[in-house]
Chain A
């Protein structure tokens, strides 16, 4: 925190426009900061530059066609976004997902969480000012995961691999061995990050005590994901409302108590270790079997109804609210974006800090603007 210096003269606050095309805003996000010297007094965020009407588009598409748009909603964790969507459809249509498909889904979403957190590490490193090095380290391991996804689904970012009912096609023969290889690489990557950043005095000085938010405030802002767990709230949808097979394996919810930027970094680092553990256990459980229910109609139709499905995406609770009036397409689709809620706390966390710290705070909540704007 910066202490208020006594002004000898009457000074005027300056309005500083950051973005929308600015590398440190992680996409097209604009904020107008009111600065007094170097100290931020107010932040007015402007969102919506990336609004594509994905929710509305999905209402004009049948259930399978909508999957591609979910990928683009959350492009850094497309599997997690697809998962929420297909689970909502499955609940509406009362489809039973075979065990093998569930285990594979779980492996994929956890790997995607790793890829997304790696991306955070890299981008956050740049925000803090460690130019290049962590970014390239993160890219190296993320590349391993994405290569694996490419071998499975055929695409590197927009997988379109999950389907209501199961998976589009089965994983390749060497899937388990390849997963283990990737995990080895990721473990190495986590160790590298740990060595590079965690104890680094410059990094710690730059992040500790910055962007503090208390547990009560975090709850009030509706934050979720690592951003709230870093404030000491053990909120994790995987634990609160286990979906897939999360209640059948052993893993811990990582929480930190400090509620600052450094805690959010530690929280994500710990979560990556947990994800590796989860994937390892899933690989052991993987059995041969079907990946789609026995009877799948060519065109999926759902009975009327409404559902809300929430899953734990890398950035927090990714919810899909879906209303069906019968037929082959949703009547209404609403995406509950974790980033949007987390972003609300930005002003609360950065007022009173230096301008350079406000950028770190923004980086530490790891926003994906396409998810905020949809």
Chain B
């Protein structure tokens, strides 16, 4: 009986502690800066076009082959009187979020820092009725960065972060 009494004491002591649960979805916990939801394309606000040049590096490195990239000549390039120094630019871009395993490899291989992981709640609450709706096109992939909701994903591959050593 003493053991059971001790168990009861334990549950009673827990009963007196503050609750640890949250009233989701009314209350969202703050996401850490490094949170990794799904990849998004970043928008070059200065020139007003995506950073992505359609170089296919991410497409080739993706383990589950969920990306499709098509490039085109940049109509805004300097040689044709535009303002951009990107000769080629992304034409069409699809990411199938239903297949993506959020491994971050596309972010690591991109040479233009054009792709980043979504670190907001909008990347997590994505339930749809039809999985076809999870295939994101270029417009859907860039709006969040275009409107300034996400900037870039924080950690950079392999760089030792000196001040983080404590």
Q: Mark A331-358, 1 if CB is under 8 A from B, else 0.
A: 0000000000000000000000000000
Chain B residues with CB below 8 A from A140, complex form: 20
Residue A196 at the B interface, CB < 8 A? Answer: yes
Q: Give the residues in chain B near A68, CB-CB below 8 Å.
A: 63, 101, 103, 105
Assembly CA distance A202 to B2 (angstroms): 11
Q: Find out whether the CB atom of A201 lies under 8 angstroms from the CB atom of B3.
A: yes
Per-position binary interface string of chain A over residues 196-220, scored 1 when its CB falls under 8 Å from any chain B CB and 0 otherwise: 1111111110000000000000000
Contact A65 B157 (CB under 8 A): no
Q: How far is the CA of A198 from the CA of B165 in the complex (A)?
A: 40
- Report Cα–Cα, A199/B164, bound state, in Å: 43
Chain B nearest CB: distance from A312 CB in Å?
25
Residue B79 interfacial (CB < 8 Å): no
Task: Judge if B160 is at the interface, Cβ distance under 8 Å.
Answer: yes
Cβ distance B84 to chain A, nearest Cβ, rounded Å: 27
Taking a contact as CB atoms under 8 Å apart, the answer to whether B7 and A154 are in contact is: no
Instruction: Give the interface size class of chain A.
Output: 35 or more
- Whether a CB of chain A sits under 8 angstroms from the CB of B32 is yes
Residue from A67, A170, A204 in contact with B103 in the complex, judged by beta carbons closer than 8 Å:
A67
Contact B4 A153 (CB under 8 A): no
Distance in angstroms between the alpha carbons of A177 and B166 in the assembled complex: 9
Binds B, one of A88-96, A112-120, A283-291: A283-291
Shortest beta-carbon distance, B126 to chain A, in Å? 15
- Interface residue range, chain B: 35 or more
Q: Which residue of A lies closest to B163 (CB)?
A: A173
The answer to whether B1 touches A151, judged by C-beta atoms less than 8 angstroms apart, is: no
B161 touches A200 (CB 8 A): no
Asked if B28 CB lies within 8 Å of chain A CBs, one says no
Q: B14 to A200, Cβ gap below 8 A?
A: no
User: Closest chain B residue to A193 by CB distance?
Assistant: B10
A residues less than 8 Å from B4 (CB atoms): 200-202
Q: Cα distance A68–B166 when bound, in Å?
A: 29
Q: Which of A166-205 contact B (CB under 8 A)?
A: 166, 168-177, 192, 195-204
- 13 pairs, CB–CB < 8 Å, chain A vs chain B: A61-B63, A64-B105, A150-B31, A150-B34, A152-B34, A154-B35, A158-B103, A170-B165, A175-B164, A176-B166, A201-B4, A291-B160, A292-B160
Asked if residues B165 and A288 are in contact (CB atoms below 8 Å), the reply is yes
B129 at the interface (CB under 8 A from A): no
Query: Which chain B residues border A153 with CB–CB below 8 Å?
Result: 34, 36
Judging by beta carbons under 8 Å apart, are B9 and A100 in contact?
A: no
In the complex, the answer to whether B34 meets A196 with C-beta atoms within 8 Å is no
Residue contact B34 to A197, C-beta cutoff 8 Å: no
B132 beta carbon closer than 8 Å to chain A: no
Set of chain B residues within 8 Å of A72, measured between Cβ atoms: 101
Residues of B within 8 A of A201 (CB): 1, 3-4
Is B11's beta carbon under 8 Å from chain A? Answer: yes
* CB-CB nearest in chain B for A155: B36
Q: How far is the CA of A200 from the CA of B20 in the complex (A)?
A: 25
Residues B157 and A168 in contact, CB atoms below 8 Å apart = yes
Give Cα distance in the complex from A177 to B156, angstroms: 22
By beta carbon, the residue of chain A nearest B9 is A195
CB distance from B115 to the nearest CB of A (A): 14
B136 vs chain A, min Cβ distance (A): 19
**B3 and A204 form a contact (CB under 8 A):** yes
The reply to whether the CB of B117 lies closer than 8 angstroms to some CB of chain A is yes
4 nearest interchain CB pairs?
A: A288-B165, A169-B155, A154-B36, A195-B10
Q: Which residues of A contact B31 (CB under 8 A)?
A: 150
Give Cα A64–Cα B14 distance, bound, in whole angstroms: 43
Distance in Å from the Cβ of A113 to the closest Cβ of chain B?
Answer: 22
Q: Do A65 and B103 have beta carbons less than 8 Å apart?
A: yes
Residues of B125-166 at the interface with A, using a CB-CB cut-off of 8 Å, are 153, 155-166
A196 touches which of B7, B63, B102, B165 (Cβ 8 Å): B7
Query: Are B160 and A195 within 8 A (Cβ)?
Result: no
Separation of A158 and B2 alpha carbons in the complex (Å): 42
Known A169-B155, A200-B6; judge A289-B165 contact (CB<8 A): yes
